[in-house]
Amino acid sequence: MAAPIAEAASEAGFRLPFRLRSLLLLALMLAGGWWAYPRASAAISLHASGNQFADYALCMVGPTGPSLLRDDPDSFLRLARRRVVGAQPDDRPFQDCASAAFELTGSRNVERAHTAMAWSFEEYGSSADQRHQGPRGSIRITDLLVTTDRLADLAEAAWPFSRGGYTRLIKRSPNAHEAVHPAAIPSPGLGSGLPAWRARYRAVQRTSRGWIAAFGNGALLEVRESGDGGLTWAPAPPGGRNISDFAERCPAGDRSYSFGLDEEGTHHTVTSVGPDSVPTVAELADSDLVVFAAACDAAALVAALKPEASAEVTLLRCPFQASCVPMTMPTLSGVDARPRYPLDVARVSGATVLALNMGGIVRVTSSRDDGLTWTPLTVAFDREAHPEFRAHVAVPRRLLALGDHLFLYGGAPKTTETYPVLVSDDQGATWHTPQP
């Protein structure tokens, strides 16, 4: 068809300004460019996004982040949860990763979740009565999830310029920010024998065979003894082993403290007794308050009290043979909230230690200057960190000092039932699995 047209044009003295084959070639080139450009552009974006994905994962949970987020998102989120649980309430552990999260997902909700305070996450934990305190939201760890969907879409769009998938392109940038790998939470041991009910008096004494402990007083007195360092306990007769020498009071060497009521019955009192002095009685607090926990050493007794129908806690310190004074409660940093019931108190080597039960997570803080300052909260126990651990009682809520060793334990209604146990040798700063 082209030849007759060319001949006709020649006969007429007219030539086309181009060859049809050139036109066809140009059309093919334009079509090829139209086909190749978006694929080449996707390939470039894929390489950049692979780096960004790896850098984001490093920012979130540290060195193992890229491979976990690519291959095992559930394990990645467990590490992210560990960062949240171990943070202070007003920390924003993922704030530096927020912009990358938005670029990888295009979601402002995901970006906002990355800028939230630890306290705002449901997994941070609190009792039901604490939820009204502070800016605690309903963000969940799963709201942080950045998937490989964008990488998969780019890899498909980039064929044939990028072959072999996206996984090989997930590589960190040279100057990527890397979070510290979240520290593991210690695994508890399995204990048994200690009662679950709260008692004002938890008196302990070392024996030639281990330890003996007396809980409560009067008709509620229960005695336990342990021969394995405090991990397991067995019932002991209340009248044996000189129990009366230390039970039904808070003993501290050759000193002791005991609770009572004043003559009018309107105030709790604390009586201090020493070896070479007459008993000294000090007023503690209104009798309308319940003394739900107490601990002592040679220097002072510390009592935790609350109204009958409230979770608001008051701490008071009663120095030996001196007047009782209020102790400043620790605050949950930055969220305008204070620890509330349930909690427990211990005294170890002059330090006051508080264990706070926060929705299956037990956090510990301590003061070595009688409440003027408190250490940051540390996680002693997290029920979700060890799903393989099984016991009749799920959470350790009680403190018991055996010499310089501080035990965090669950307590159980029956002596044959089990509970978690952890031990601290540094006044609650760190915790470890007890050795039988």
Asked if residues 275 and 286 have their Cβ atoms less than 8 Å apart, the reply is no
For 243-246, the CB contacts below 8 A with 24+ separation are: 243/212, 243/214, 245/205, 246/203, 246/204, 246/205, 246/214
pLDDT in tens, 147-184: 877 766 665 665 564 556 666 667 788 888 889 999 88
Query: What's the predicted TM-score (pTM) here?
Result: 0.84
pLDDT at 333: 78
pLDDT of residue 134: 42
pLDDT tens-digit readout, 254-286: 999 999 999 999 999 999 999 887 899 999 999
Closest by CA position to 420, among listed 186, 185, 191? 191
89, 106, 78, 124 alpha-carbon torsion, rounded to 10°:
20
Q: Does 374 have pLDDT greater than 60? A: yes
pLDDT at 94: 96
Residue 1: per-residue pLDDT: 47
pLDDT of 229 higher than 60: yes
Q: What pLDDT score was predicted for residue 166? A: 62
Residue 152's pLDDT is: 64
Model confidence band, residue 423 (pLDDT cutoffs 50, 70, 90) = very high
pLDDT confidence of residue 85: 94
Q: 3-state class of 389 per DSSP?
A: coil
The CATH architecture assigned to 189-424 reads 5 Propeller (2.115)
pLDDT at 36: 47
Inform me whether the pLDDT recorded for 38 exceeds 60.
no
215 near 398, Cβ under 8 Å? Answer: no
Which amino acid is present at 329?
M
Q: What is the mean pLDDT of residues 331-343?
A: 84
Residues with Cβ within 8 Å of residue 407, at least 6 apart in sequence:
230, 399, 400, 401, 421, 422, 423, 434
pLDDT at 28: 61
306's tokens:
């609350």
pLDDT at 154: 60
- In the prediction, which pLDDT does 130 show? 46
H or E element at residue 9: helix 2-11
Query: What average pLDDT does range 37-43 have in this prediction?
Result: 53
Name the average pLDDT for the chain: 85
44's enclosing H/E stretch is: helix 20-61
Domain ranges of the chain: 20-169, 189-424
User: Is the confidence at residue 37, as pLDDT, over 70?
Assistant: no
pLDDT confidence of residue 156: 63
More reliable by pLDDT, 136 or 385 = 385
| Cα 14 from Cα 62, distance rounded (Å) | 74
Q: Angle CA(167)–CA(75)–CA(175) in degrees, nearest 5?
A: 55
Which amino acid, residue 45? S
Tell whether the model's pLDDT for residue 40 goes beyond 80.
Answer: no
Determine the 3-state secondary structure of 137 from DSSP: coil
The per-residue pLDDT for 145 is: 86
| Residue 290 pLDDT > 50 | yes
Q: Cα dist. 231→76, 104, 239, 380 in Å?
A: 34, 49, 23, 17
List strand residue ranges (DSSP E) for 246-336, in order.
Answer: 250-252, 255-261, 267-273, 280-286, 289-296, 300-307, 314-319, 325-327
Q: What's the whole-number mean pLDDT along residues 345-353?
A: 94
Identify the CA nearest to 376 among candidates 425, 339, 429: 429
Mean pLDDT calculated for residue range 225-232: 94
User: Taking a C-beta distance cutoff of 8 angstroms, is the pair 342, 312 a contact?
Assistant: no
Between these two residues, 150 and 368, which has the higher pLDDT value? 368
Of 194-203, 231-240, 343-352, least confident by mean pLDDT is 231-240
Please tell me the distance from the alpha carbon of residue 322 to that of residue 274, in angstroms, as a whole number.
12
Mean pLDDT lowest among 71-85, 114-128, 321-335: 114-128
State pLDDT tens for residues 6-25: 454 455 555 656 565 655 65
Percent of the chain exceeding pLDDT 90 equals 61
Q: Which two tokens stand for residue 401?
A: 């000092």
Say if residue 187 is exposed, middle or buried (CB neighbours under 10 Å; 0-12, 13-18, 19+).
middle
Best-predicted range by mean pLDDT (112-126, 239-253, 410-424): 410-424
Q: What mean pLDDT comes out for the span 130-140?
A: 56
